[in-house]
Amino acid sequence: MQTKTFQVPNISCGHCVMTIQNEVSELDGVKSVIANRDSQLVTVEWDAPASWDGIKALLEEINYAPAAA
């Protein structure tokens, strides 16, 4: 299992948190998605067939792109 925590600057409300959690959790292989409005941090745990590239692409598609590291 892989885990990544990253910042999403576009998180501003509870709706943002729910959108990220609902959309990302629908990807095959994603085990857990926890987003925090106050810290703007998201933690995702996944196994194959999910990948960081796929998760990042979905976040960009729904306008919640991760901050550049």
Q: How many domains does the chain have?
A: 1
pLDDT tens digits for range 20-57: 999 999 999 999 999 999 999 999 999 999 999 999 99
Residue 25: what pLDDT?
Answer: 98
Q: What range defines the domain where residue 56 resides? A: 2-61
Query: Could you tell me if residue 66 is inside a domain?
Result: no
Query: Could you tell me if residue 67 is inside a domain?
Result: no
Query: Could you tell me if residue 69 is inside a domain?
Result: no
In sequence order, which ranges of the chain are alpha helices (DSSP H)? Answer: 14-25, 52-61
- Phi, psi dihedrals of residue 16, rounded to the nearest 5°: -60, -45
Query: Could you tell me if residue 36 is inside a domain?
Result: yes
The CATH number linked to 36 is 3.30.70.100
Residue, of 6 and 68, whose pLDDT is higher: 6
Query: Could you tell me if residue 28 is inside a domain?
Result: yes
pTM exceeds 0.75: yes
Residue 69: what pLDDT?
Answer: 58
Task: Judge whether 66 and 8 are in contact, CB under 8 Å.
Answer: yes
Residue 68: what pLDDT?
Answer: 77
Query: Could you tell me if residue 68 is inside a domain?
Result: no
